[in-house]
Amino acid sequence: MKGKNWSALVVVVVMLTVALSGCVTPSAPAQPAAPKLPESIVIGSLEPLTGAHAVFGTEAKIGTEIAVDHINAAGGIKSLNGLKLKLVTEDAGENADSAKLGAESIISKHHPVAILGLYISRMTIAASEVTEREKVILVADALVDSVTTSGRQYLFRPAPKASQHGASAVQFVVDSAKKAGLDFTKVAILNEDSSFGRSNATGAMDAALNNGLTIVYQKEYPYDITDASSIVADIAAAKADFVVHCPYFTDAILFAKTFRETGNIPKFIVGMGASGYTDPESIQALGETAEYYANTFSYNPAKKTPQNEKFVADFKAKTGHIPTEAAGMNYYAAWVLKEALELSGQMFPTDPLNPDNLRQAFLKLDLTSGPAVETYPGDHIAFTPTGDNPDAKAVVLQVIKGEPRIVWPLEDAEVEAIFPRPDATR
Amino acid sequence: MNTKQRTIKMLPLLVGLVVALIVPLIVGKNQYNMVLVTTVLFYGVLATAWNIIGGMAGQLDLAAWAYLGLGAFTSGTLLLRWNVTPWLGMILGGLVAAGFAALVGYPLFRFGVKEVWYALSSAALVEVLRVAFLMWDEVGGPVERYLPFHRASWYHMRFASYVPYYYIVLGLLLIALFVNYRISRSKLGYYLLALGESEDAAEVIGVDARACKLKALMIYAFIVGATGAVYACLFGFIHPSFFNTAQSTEVAILGIIGGMGIVYGPLLAAIILVSGREFMRANLGSSLESLYLAIYAVVLIVIALFRPQGIAPLFRKAYDWLLSRVVGERYAA
């Protein structure tokens, strides 16, 4: 081979290198020097806006947007001279790959101090590797227990985790039975086969055992199940007083229909983990069969506080319906973040946006009033070092005359629960 | 072909290799760009490996993520249970995937399952494995299993930057390309080509179709399985959702769009389509939700309509044209 060819090759390579380096976005500048505050505090919303989970992610994004508007309208972060929040949003796609890419992309483009997202647990896990490395606070709205069990330092989850949903569902039935003077001792626990379903069921089992109940039947089934009759027959044979169930969506409809068609309706059926029995689509699909079904929820749209009423009104004006769980969770999550920024400003006036300082502020949070608590399902927000709030509680909705109504906890109830089911056959 | 012509033919390969090697020097500081190029190469490996069974042997395989998941679970479980390094897990994961491919492939090919029926069986395989691993609580189960969380550990194949992952995936890609190239020049390659054209005709002239297809399937499964082990380390967990039918189909799409049977075709398709889609997701995803998926679909349809033989021949033509302009007609490949 002649020398001439090689020199041509080198020229091409050098040219390509130069051309490529021109195309590439310049790498991230270092975080601004400590004491100097930026013009606004950038926070990100990274949610699944496309693909299978888009319906939840879109609601979540709207919830965050309204929260940021409200926070800014209320004067921003007061301890930081009224600094405003600036929201940047990005689509996280529908799988772990796109979640990771989304996290890297939103961080390298905008350098947010915190990110809210990503609703789906495995997407949250993939993205949290990035937020941990970059030390960006991740305010998670994925409820699966394992999200907070892997030693993440910069991850906080204000919403009740899945096992707290399971526990709330059982506690609701125990409270209601006591109030009605009934002796409920035997429970059947069902869940679809995702990590979400499993976490819910685990919480329900613990709560059942703590309440001295006997678990007479327990089943994990595939979420796309097409025939529920054998499970329903088994529940009847086990003589369960009530059923605690974590369905997805279509399986909730299938089970409700099967309970009715086979005439094996237990004294009560309560769903855990938001999806399933009481969301508007299920009620529409089930018609009258939806009546008396109950479900836990991470947000209470009926909570009678000024802040919540304002949120519900603004959300309704924007979308035409009341906030769903994903929207509500992100609304109060954004307010929790606001309170943490506020506290960080007081605790570390010289460097409030430093991720380690902000993390300290999160851990020191102890909220019992204010907009975050006013929209929160519970009355106390404080985080353990793992990032969960042990005082988080799910509320319970029951379908009464075709409308989902808050029936538990009793102090927040809109109406009294219809308990036990008047149409129970067993 | 004289030396000069050979040099000219090899030029894109050399340039590509040099560019691939120095990419981290250019974009390495920006983690997003780095994870993007790693993801593109990752799909490049899968599509290039798919070329062996899909492009060369002509079997429309839709089970890429079945083998990827098996590799990920093998390596991840070995690491979680017995602290076996993923470097070894990679090879074992590849072997498990290849072994499983043999178990599935033997009866399929033995009973002459081909064309759409092969495609359907392979797609079903992904779903069967997903459900099986969901139910197999000792290894899988519905709860995500985290790999040990380290900021950096060579032993655990965990790094704080994507640069090492990039080079690992690049290594796998070079292996996949090399294997492709070697097969295309070997007896097996010609047999496969003959099979892809017409299986009956090939069998009449004495090609052992069953054995050839099984070999191709196992080689493909091995490469994809080994890649799965790296995938698990990159994402830090294993979960039955790795057995993903949609992403498996995507691998086949890249292989087809790239140009069936052309060694570098699937890689070209991965570079163009994966980065293009990601660019649209990052820039349009949060404003015009889902629009980018529609655009992506339209692009695929247009290519399928107007370039049924894939985009690789188009690139070859463009390169030839460029050469004829630069060095004269004489040397054009």
pLDDT tens, residue by residue, B21-55: 998 988 878 889 999 999 999 999 999 999 999 98
DSSP summary character for residue A287:
G
Amino acid identity at A225: I
Residues 282-301, chain B, touching A (beta carbon < 8 A): 282, 285-286, 289-290, 292-293
Q: What is the CATH number of domain B3-331?
A: 1.10.3470
- In angstroms, the CA A102 to CA A86 distance is 18
pLDDT digit string, tens, across residues A68-120 = 999 999 999 999 999 999 999 999 988 888 999 999 999 999 999 999 999 99
**What per-residue string of b and e applies to A235-254 under the rule 16 or more CB within 10 Å gives b?**
bbeeebbbbbbbbbbebbbb
- In angstroms, the CA A207 to CA A174 distance is 10
Q: Which residue do the tokens 């608590």 mark?
A: A373
- In angstroms, the CA B87 to CA A43 distance is 38
- In angstroms, the CA B216 to CA B60 distance is 12
Question: Could you tell me which residue, A65 or B116, shows the higher pLDDT?
Answer: A65
Hey, how many other C-beta atoms are within 10 angstroms of the C-beta on B165? 22
Annotated domain spans of chain A: 40-160+303-374, 163-297+395-412
Confirm or reject contact between B2 and chain A (CB < 8 A).
no
Distances from the Cα of A270 to the Cαs of A204, A319, A326, in angstroms?
Answer: 11, 28, 20
Residue B286 binned pLDDT confidence (cut-offs 50, 70, 90): low
Identical fold between A40-160+303-374 and A163-297+395-412: yes
The number of helix segments (H) and strand segments (E) in chain B equals 14, 2
Contact assignment for B32 to A101 by CB distance below 8 Å: yes
Tell me the two tokens of residue A300. Answer: 């209470």
Query: Which is the CATH superfamily of the domain at A163-297+395-412?
Result: Response regulator (3.40.50.2300)
- From the number of C-beta atoms within 10 Å of its C-beta (0-12, 13-18, 19+), residue A215 rates as middle
Question: Looking at beta carbons, which residues of chain B come within 8 Å of A21?
Answer: 26
Q: Which residue do the tokens 């994809």 mark?
A: B224
Average pLDDT of every residue of chain B? 89
Cα atoms in the Cβ-side hemisphere of radius 13 Å centred on B244: 16
Q: What pLDDT, on a 0 to 100 scale, did the predictor assign at position A309? A: 95
Contact assignment for B286 to A91 by CB distance below 8 Å: yes
- From the number of C-beta atoms within 10 Å of its C-beta (0-12, 13-18, 19+), residue A216 rates as middle
Contact assignment for A20 to B131 by CB distance below 8 Å: no
Strand partners, A190: A219, A245
Residues 63-122, chain B, touching A (beta carbon < 8 A): none
Confirm or reject contact between B136 and chain A (CB < 8 A).
no
Contact assignment for B19 to A96 by CB distance below 8 Å: no
- In angstroms, the CA A338 to CA A361 distance is 11
Question: Looking at beta carbons, which residues of chain B come within 8 Å of A100?
Answer: 35, 235
Strands A155-156 and A137-140: parallel
Tell me the two tokens of residue A25. Answer: 């976005």
| Mean pLDDT in residue range A385-401 | 93
pLDDT at residue B95 is higher than 90: yes
Distances from the Cα of A421 to the Cαs of A142, A175, A402, in angstroms?
Answer: 32, 15, 15
Residue A29 binned pLDDT confidence (cut-offs 50, 70, 90): very low
Q: What is the CATH number of domain A40-160+303-374?
A: 3.40.50.2300
Q: What is the ipTM of this complex?
A: 0.80
B236–chain A nearest CA distance, Å = 7
- In angstroms, the CA A426 to CA B123 distance is 44
Report the SS3 class of residue B201: helix
pLDDT at residue A20 is higher than 60: no
Where helices occur in B85-145 by DSSP H, the ranges are 86-110, 115-135
Residues 173-192, chain B, touching A (beta carbon < 8 A): none
- In angstroms, the CA A133 to CA B37 distance is 19
Question: Could you tell me which residue, A242 or A1, shows the higher pLDDT?
Answer: A242
Annotated domain spans of chain B: 3-331
Report the SS3 class of residue B141: coil
Q: What pLDDT, on a 0 to 100 scale, did the predictor assign at position B193? A: 85
Worst-scoring range by mean pLDDT, A374-378, A384-388, B311-315? B311-315
pLDDT digit string, tens, across residues B144-203 = 898 887 778 899 998 888 999 999 999 999 999 999 999 989 999 999 888 878 888 888
- In angstroms, the CA B51 to CA B44 distance is 10
Q: What pLDDT, on a 0 to 100 scale, did the predictor assign at position A67? A: 97
Tell me the two tokens of residue B149. Answer: 């969380």
